[in-house]
Amino acid sequence: MSERVVLAYSGGLDTSVAIGWIAEETGAEVVAVAIDCGQGGEDLDAVRRRALDCGAVEAVVADARDEFATEYCVPAIRANALYMDRYPLVSALSRPLIVKHLAEAARYHGATHVAHGCTGKGNDQVRFEAGLAALFPELRVLAPVRDSGMTRDRAIAFAEDKGLPIDVSRKSPYSIDQNLFGRAVETGFLEDIWNGPIEDVYDYTRDPAEPREPDELVITFADGVPTAIDGRELTPLQVIEEMNRRAGDHGVGRIDMVEDRLVGIKSREVYEAPGAIALITAHQELENVTVERELARYKRGVDQRWGELVYDGLWFSPLKDALQGFVAEANRHVSGDIRMVLHGGRAVVTGRRSETALYDFDLATYDTGDTYDQSAARGFIDVFAMPGRIAGSRDRRATR
């Protein structure tokens, strides 16, 4: 039997051409693996038929939307994961899920290689290959676009010559990656960082400047996991889908940034992640209510590092696993409701309530009924300020 190559298959030009390209270059049989992470578009049956029509000996398609929402998006929400304090890891979160399915397919089909369609400039090549190295280190990796000179022009010529059943005449001015958690847009005129994005860049969000009535809702969390909207119990997938729709209707989650890629270059990226931004905003505020001060301060650093590891393709690393355990423990009391208003491109928290809140009205109030002992403040300040007072006295003596 010929060697087999498992290909991460999207159904587009590059990976469709890669099926025949790999077969010609290596003599191997290609098994195409397509994973639905909520990116929309064609149904899985159509994607599977295209892969087979392009020469794959087998095509594996999987609806992984629930898995993606529960096992990847929810941990990101609990970690308030925003790379460079802005980007909610849209593409970075889906890659380890795809890698997991690629490794499983490689074992099942007895493959010796895994192939992907990433370029040599992006982060995804690292995410795929570092993830595969952790899960199935014996596999070798093929990267036709990066390593074999498979440019777009050559891919189109190959598709036309072989009569492949894909549309090669239409070329979007953008490179787009999307899934349940958001949408990433780059290249084209956006590569000039002075150019502002225009409305046709966006798909998940409406123009926030359009007049419309605000949308008020209540999001319920249990241990940091969103479980309901307006009192209706929902799965994580359903929560994210509804928040994408409702926050997207108000233009929430548009991000235009110059990003530090792992490979060392800066890249201009436009993102829209309405559900992700709204849910992270709500979760952060509920943490403010329920998480003790020192734990909250420490968790902010853990959250940042967790996001950096995921962005860098180290989902399966020991450090990321350990930090995720910390994040889960820190979310043990993050339960309750957040009221939020969606309007004009913003998700604004207007109310909080929780049975596990650390907010004590009687301590916080300035009105009658205040139980805070203000007389204790003087002694506290004396002790708290003592190191600075001693250091200041030393410095003054030294300057005389």
Identify the three-state secondary structure at position 148. coil
Contact 105, 139 (CB under 8 A): no
CA dihedral in degrees (324, 185, 59, 136; nearest 10)?
A: -40
Q: Confirm whether residue 172 is marked as ligand binding.
A: no
Q: Confirm whether residue 175 is marked as ligand binding.
A: yes
| Residue 179: strand pairing partners | 182
Residue corresponding to tokens 């070798």: 140
Q: Confirm whether residue 127 is marked as ligand binding.
A: yes
**What is the pairing mode between strands 225-229 and 232-233?**
antiparallel
Q: Confirm whether residue 14 is marked as ligand binding.
A: yes
Q: Confirm whether residue 217 is marked as ligand binding.
A: no
* Active-site residue list: 14, 95, 124, 175
Contact 7, 33 (CB under 8 A): yes
Q: Confirm whether residue 354 is marked as ligand binding.
A: no
Q: Confirm whether residue 117 is marked as ligand binding.
A: yes
Q: Confirm whether residue 174 is marked as ligand binding.
A: no
Q: Confirm whether residue 80 is marked as ligand binding.
A: no
Please report how the helices 90-109 and 124-135 are oriented relative to each other, as an axis angle in degrees rounded to 10: 40
Q: Confirm whether residue 392 is marked as ligand binding.
A: no
**Count, residues in the chain:** 400
Q: Confirm whether residue 66 is marked as ligand binding.
A: no
Rounded CA gap, 358 and 369, in Å?
18
Residue corresponding to tokens 């570092």: 130
Identify the three-state secondary structure at position 340. strand
Q: Confirm whether residue 8 is marked as ligand binding.
A: yes
Rounded CA gap, 332 and 270, in Å?
34
Contact 6, 101 (CB under 8 A): no
Q: Confirm whether residue 124 is marked as ligand binding.
A: yes
Q: Enumerate the known binding-site residues for L-citrulline.
A: 87, 123, 127, 175, 259, 271
Q: Enumerate the known binding-site residues for L-aspartate.
A: 119, 123-124
Q: Enumerate the known binding-site residues.
A: 8-16, 87, 117, 119, 123-124, 127, 175, 259, 271
Q: Enumerate the known binding-site residues for ATP.
A: 8-16, 117
